[in-house]
Amino acid sequence: MKKVSLIIAAGLISFASFSQKVYQTKSAQIKFQPITEEGGCTNNQVQSLLKSSDGQIAFSALIKGFKFSNSLLEDHFNENYMESTKFPNAKFQGFITNIKEVDFAKNGTYKVTVKGTLTIHGTPKEVTTTGTIEIAGGKVIAKANFKVKVADYGIKGLYIGQKIAAEQDITVTSIYE
């Protein structure tokens, strides 16, 4: 009887550990489209984590990690607009509000709502957006697309609203391990 109890206890501990998995990646992707008339920028070195138990989700991106097709635009982005020496990171901390609807053990695509604080240029703002979590062969892929107004984050510059879009379309894609 003691062996059966130990086996059941071990099974419950394993199940609890599985159901509270923390998914992580250091290669999530954030895209801004369009930054300028010439196109956008991409950062493929974004750190992210997702807790399946409570839906906590977080991202951290080094501003200098955003790459442009034109190196002069990249310099202006870092020096004149984002002031990446003064504000080296952008981050998001929040929760997937309907995480209970995601079955991490079953392949499928689940619509989710994400709510939290996005900090860019040292300015935190509450954001809510929708996205998807896809479970495929044991991999977890999270995607979201939303817009931010540059002025809301205290980013100023001569060409904002002219050559630089005043509202940026942000796409986030995370393939968790």
pLDDT in tens, 36-81: 667 789 999 999 999 999 999 999 999 999 999 888 889 989 998 9
Local confidence band at 16 (pLDDT 50, 70, 90 cut-offs): very low
Local confidence band at 2 (pLDDT 50, 70, 90 cut-offs): very low
Q: Output the pLDDT for position 177.
A: 81
Which among 177, 160, 174 is positioned nearest to 35, based on CA atoms? 160
Q: Output the pLDDT for position 7.
A: 43
State how far the Cα of 63 lies from the Cα of 10, in Å rounded to an integer: 44
Most confident option among 8-22, 36-50, 72-86, 95-109: 95-109
**Residue 96: CB partners within 8 Å, gap ≥ 6?**
50, 55, 57, 102, 112, 113, 114, 133
Judge residue 133's burial from the number of C-beta atoms within 10 Å of its C-beta, 0-12 exposed, 13-18 middle, 19 or more buried: buried
Element (H, E) at 2: helix 2-19
pTM: 0.85
State how far the Cα of 103 lies from the Cα of 121, in Å rounded to an integer: 36
Q: Greatest CA separation found in the chain?
A: 76
Express each pLDDT in 109-144 by its tens digit.
999 999 999 999 999 999 999 999 999 998 999 999
Kindly report the average pLDDT of the chain as a whole number.
88
All structural domains of the chain with their residue ranges: 21-176
Q: Output the pLDDT for position 104.
A: 95
Homologous superfamily (CATH) of 21-176 is Lipid/polyisoprenoid-binding, YceI-like (2.40.128.110)
Ranges of beta strands (E only) in 37-138 are 39-51, 56-62, 89-96, 108-120, 123-136
Q: Are strands 89-96 and 39-51 parallel, antiparallel or unpaired?
A: unpaired
